[in-house]
Structure 1
Amino acid sequence: MYDSKIRFKDLTRSHFNTTLSKSLLDQIKQVADEKGSPYNMFLEIGMEWVLETYYYKGSFHKPTRPTDRVRINTTFNTSLFNRIKARTNRLGKDIYANDLIEEGMKYILSDYKK
């Protein structure tokens, strides 16, 4: 039988659509499942790392974009996602939020594989 779990709405979080590498996302979801946490929490940890690491123009070199990107709809802390979007403008031309989120995903995966 279905057991409904009522959750309180967190007003600091909003739904966002973005495109991310399917292979990276699958690996993040696997880590999240092993840790018993929602995967978007790990995405946010990676986003915080990106904000701390890439501050100045030229500090982030645009990677080649993955060919396996899929569109996802997930919830992020609104302020955090907006800071990521603003950081793309500071870092240079043709750098987008999903590039920075994927960089954070790579960091998370390297950190949790240790």
Structure 2
Amino acid sequence: MIILYISNIRTVDKSRSHFTTTLSKSLLDQIKEIAERKNSSYNFLLEDGMNWVYETYYLKGSFSLPPRPADRIKINTTFNTSLFNKIKSRAKRLGKNIHANDLIEEGMKYVIGLEQDLF
């Protein structure tokens, strides 16, 4: 008799994929603190910011690239595949020097700002 083991600890969500990107460590630390207070995953907060960026910056010239943070680190995370691809595409549309991680960091600043407004 064969018994199949099914883990309920981490359910598979086929809409999500693993990605590697570089993000500001200080922004990421703040996002992780917010996620802990909200009893949520930091990935979901990153996606909230990505959604805001996607809805806000759509015209070429609507996003000016701030100085890139010197504290960027490589992270492995999961994102909704469709959303991440939209952000990558939007970055290309906004300008040749803009990358997805620039837009993700802009979304992180937005989420951090929302949280600071609550306190």
Specify if TM > 0.5. Answer: yes
In structure 1, the partner of 2:88 is 85
TM-score w.r.t. the length of structure 2 is: 0.91
SS in 2 for 1:15: strand
Match of 1:38 among 31, 36, 41: 41
Match of 2:71 among 68, 72, 75: 68
Q: How many Å separate the matches in 1 of 2:8 and 2:70?
A: 37
SS in 2 for 1:66: coil
Q: How many Å separate the matches in 1 of 2:27 and 2:76?
A: 16
In structure 1, the partner of 2:103 is 100
Structure 2 gap ranges (5+): 1-6
SS in 2 for 1:25: helix
The residue identity in structure 2 corresponding to 1:66 is P
Q: How many Å separate the matches in 2 of 1:6 and 1:72?
A: 22
After superposing on structure 2, the runs of 4+ consecutive aligned residues of structure 1 that deviate more than 3 Å are: none
Q: How does 1:48-67 map to 2 (within 5 A)?
A: 48-67=51-70
Structure 1 gap ranges (5+): none
Identity across matched positions, percent: 67
Q: Does 1:18 align with 2:21?
A: yes
The residue identity in structure 2 corresponding to 1:85 is K
Specify the structure having the higher radius of gyration (Cα): 2
C-alpha displacement at 1:89, in angstroms?
Answer: 1.1
In structure 1, the partner of 2:9 is 6
Q: How many Å separate the matches in 2 of 1:104 and 1:33?
A: 18
Q: How many Å separate the matches in 1 of 2:90 and 2:50?
A: 11
TM-score w.r.t. the length of structure 1 is: 0.95
Q: How many Å separate the matches in 2 of 1:9 and 1:25?
A: 24
Let me know the Cα RMSD of the aligned residues. Answer: 1.0
The residue identity in structure 2 corresponding to 1:97 is A
In structure 2, the partner of 1:28 is 31
Q: How many Å separate the matches in 2 of 1:37 and 1:97?
A: 23
Q: How many Å separate the matches in 1 of 2:55 and 2:49?
A: 10
Deviation track 1:67-100 (CA, whole Å, cap 9, x = no partner) reads 0000000000000000000001110110000000
